[in-house]
Amino acid sequence: MLADDYFVKHLSMSAEDADMLHQKYYKDYGLAISGLVKHHKVNALEYNREVDDALPLDGLITPNPDLRKLLEDIDTSKVKRWLFTNAYITHGQRVVRLLGIEDLFEGMTFCDYGKMPFICKPHGEMFAKAEAEAGAPSTKDCYFVGK
Protein backbone atom coordinates (compact mmCIF):
# COMPACT_ATOMS: atom_id res chain seq x y z
CA MET A 1 0.00 0.00 0.00
CA LEU A 2 1.45 3.36 -1.01
CA ALA A 3 0.33 5.09 2.19
CA ASP A 4 2.17 2.58 4.37
CA ASP A 5 5.23 2.87 2.11
CA TYR A 6 5.10 6.64 2.63
CA PHE A 7 5.09 6.15 6.41
CA VAL A 8 8.05 3.76 6.18
CA LYS A 9 10.07 6.04 3.91
CA HIS A 10 9.37 9.41 5.51
CA LEU A 11 9.10 8.39 9.16
CA SER A 12 11.83 5.72 9.10
CA MET A 13 9.72 2.99 10.64
CA SER A 14 9.05 -0.68 10.03
CA ALA A 15 6.22 -1.78 7.76
CA GLU A 16 4.35 -3.19 10.77
CA ASP A 17 4.65 0.09 12.71
CA ALA A 18 3.68 2.04 9.59
CA ASP A 19 0.50 0.02 9.17
CA MET A 20 -0.42 0.46 12.84
CA LEU A 21 0.21 4.22 12.78
CA HIS A 22 -1.62 4.61 9.47
CA GLN A 23 -4.70 2.88 10.94
CA LYS A 24 -4.46 4.90 14.16
CA TYR A 25 -4.33 8.23 12.31
CA TYR A 26 -7.19 7.18 10.05
CA LYS A 27 -9.30 6.24 13.08
CA ASP A 28 -8.34 9.27 15.17
CA TYR A 29 -8.50 11.96 12.46
CA GLY A 30 -10.62 10.61 9.61
CA LEU A 31 -7.59 10.73 7.31
CA ALA A 32 -4.09 9.38 7.84
CA ILE A 33 -2.65 12.54 6.30
CA SER A 34 -4.21 14.60 9.10
CA GLY A 35 -2.11 12.76 11.68
CA LEU A 36 1.00 13.00 9.53
CA VAL A 37 0.61 16.76 9.19
CA LYS A 38 -0.25 17.30 12.86
CA HIS A 39 2.43 15.11 14.40
CA HIS A 40 5.19 14.95 11.76
CA LYS A 41 4.85 18.23 9.83
CA VAL A 42 4.49 16.30 6.56
CA ASN A 43 3.74 18.35 3.45
CA ALA A 44 0.20 17.26 2.59
CA LEU A 45 0.51 18.11 -1.11
CA GLU A 46 3.71 16.06 -1.35
CA TYR A 47 1.89 13.16 0.34
CA ASN A 48 -0.95 13.50 -2.16
CA ARG A 49 1.52 13.37 -5.09
CA GLU A 50 3.34 10.32 -3.72
CA VAL A 51 0.29 8.41 -2.50
CA ASP A 52 -3.18 9.29 -3.81
CA ASP A 53 -2.14 10.63 -7.21
CA ALA A 54 0.34 7.76 -7.64
CA LEU A 55 -2.24 5.00 -7.13
CA PRO A 56 -2.44 2.82 -10.27
CA LEU A 57 -6.19 3.33 -10.78
CA ASP A 58 -6.28 3.13 -14.59
CA GLY A 59 -7.81 -0.23 -15.37
CA LEU A 60 -8.91 -0.74 -11.76
CA ILE A 61 -11.62 1.91 -11.93
CA THR A 62 -13.52 1.79 -15.19
CA PRO A 63 -16.63 3.53 -16.51
CA ASN A 64 -19.70 2.34 -14.67
CA PRO A 65 -22.81 2.55 -16.87
CA ASP A 66 -25.15 1.50 -14.05
CA LEU A 67 -23.84 4.25 -11.78
CA ARG A 68 -24.09 6.76 -14.61
CA LYS A 69 -27.71 5.75 -15.28
CA LEU A 70 -28.56 5.98 -11.59
CA LEU A 71 -27.11 9.49 -11.41
CA GLU A 72 -28.75 10.57 -14.67
CA ASP A 73 -32.13 9.46 -13.32
CA ILE A 74 -31.91 11.97 -10.46
CA ASP A 75 -34.27 14.87 -11.15
CA THR A 76 -31.87 17.82 -11.16
CA SER A 77 -34.79 20.26 -11.03
CA LYS A 78 -35.22 19.02 -7.43
CA VAL A 79 -31.77 17.77 -6.45
CA LYS A 80 -28.29 19.16 -6.97
CA ARG A 81 -25.70 16.46 -7.63
CA TRP A 82 -22.60 17.41 -5.66
CA LEU A 83 -19.46 15.44 -4.83
CA PHE A 84 -18.17 15.38 -1.27
CA THR A 85 -14.82 13.67 -0.65
CA ASN A 86 -12.00 13.54 1.86
CA ALA A 87 -9.58 13.28 -1.05
CA TYR A 88 -7.69 16.22 -2.51
CA ILE A 89 -9.27 17.65 -5.66
CA THR A 90 -6.87 15.94 -8.09
CA HIS A 91 -7.72 12.48 -6.75
CA GLY A 92 -11.46 13.18 -6.62
CA GLN A 93 -11.47 14.45 -10.21
CA ARG A 94 -9.44 11.47 -11.39
CA VAL A 95 -11.80 8.93 -9.83
CA VAL A 96 -14.99 10.45 -11.28
CA ARG A 97 -13.27 10.78 -14.68
CA LEU A 98 -12.32 7.10 -14.61
CA LEU A 99 -15.89 6.21 -13.63
CA GLY A 100 -17.14 8.26 -16.58
CA ILE A 101 -19.40 10.46 -14.46
CA GLU A 102 -17.41 13.70 -14.13
CA ASP A 103 -19.91 15.66 -16.21
CA LEU A 104 -22.86 14.79 -13.94
CA PHE A 105 -21.95 16.95 -10.94
CA GLU A 106 -22.25 20.67 -10.37
CA GLY A 107 -19.23 20.79 -8.11
CA MET A 108 -17.07 19.09 -5.52
CA THR A 109 -16.21 19.73 -1.91
CA PHE A 110 -12.83 18.21 -1.17
CA CYS A 111 -10.28 18.17 1.59
CA ASP A 112 -7.98 21.05 0.67
CA TYR A 113 -4.50 19.78 1.50
CA GLY A 114 -3.03 23.14 0.46
CA LYS A 115 -4.87 25.06 3.17
CA MET A 116 -3.72 24.62 6.77
CA PRO A 117 -5.18 23.53 8.96
CA PHE A 118 -7.24 21.42 6.60
CA ILE A 119 -10.51 19.87 7.67
CA CYS A 120 -12.00 16.56 6.65
CA LYS A 121 -14.89 14.26 7.37
CA PRO A 122 -16.12 13.30 9.92
CA HIS A 123 -15.64 16.76 11.45
CA GLY A 124 -18.67 19.02 11.46
CA GLU A 125 -16.72 21.87 9.85
CA MET A 126 -16.26 19.74 6.72
CA PHE A 127 -20.00 19.16 6.45
CA ALA A 128 -20.60 22.90 6.94
CA LYS A 129 -18.06 23.60 4.18
CA ALA A 130 -19.86 21.20 1.82
CA GLU A 131 -23.21 22.75 2.71
CA ALA A 132 -21.90 26.25 1.95
CA GLU A 133 -20.10 25.31 -1.27
CA ALA A 134 -23.12 23.40 -2.59
CA GLY A 135 -25.42 26.26 -1.65
CA ALA A 136 -27.53 23.95 0.51
CA PRO A 137 -29.71 25.75 3.05
CA SER A 138 -29.03 23.07 5.68
CA THR A 139 -27.89 19.48 5.99
CA LYS A 140 -31.46 18.46 6.85
CA ASP A 141 -32.14 18.88 3.13
CA CYS A 142 -29.04 16.91 2.08
CA TYR A 143 -28.55 13.24 1.34
CA PHE A 144 -25.07 11.87 1.85
CA VAL A 145 -24.45 8.67 -0.10
CA GLY A 146 -21.33 6.61 0.36
CA LYS A 147 -19.31 4.94 3.01
Q: What is the pLDDT along the chain (147 residues), one digit of tens a residue?
A: 789 999 999 999 999 999 999 999 999 988 899 999 999 999 999 999 999 999 999 999 999 999 999 999 999 999 999 999 999 999 999 999 999 999 999 999 999 999 988 888 888 899 999 999 999 987 777 887 775
Opening angle at CA 103, ends 63 and 115, nearest 5: 100
Amino acid 147: pLDDT: 58
The whole-number pLDDT of residue 53 equals 95
DSSP 104: G
Residue type, 107: G
Residues 67, 51: Cα–Cα separation, whole Å: 26
> Please, are residues 88 and 111 in contact by the beta-carbon 8 Å criterion?
yes
Alpha-carbon dihedral sign for residues 91, 125, 34, 29:
negative
Residues 6 or more apart from 96 whose CB is under 8 A from it?
83, 102, 105
Q: What is the pLDDT of residue 116?
A: 86
Other Cβ atoms closer than 10 A to 11:
14
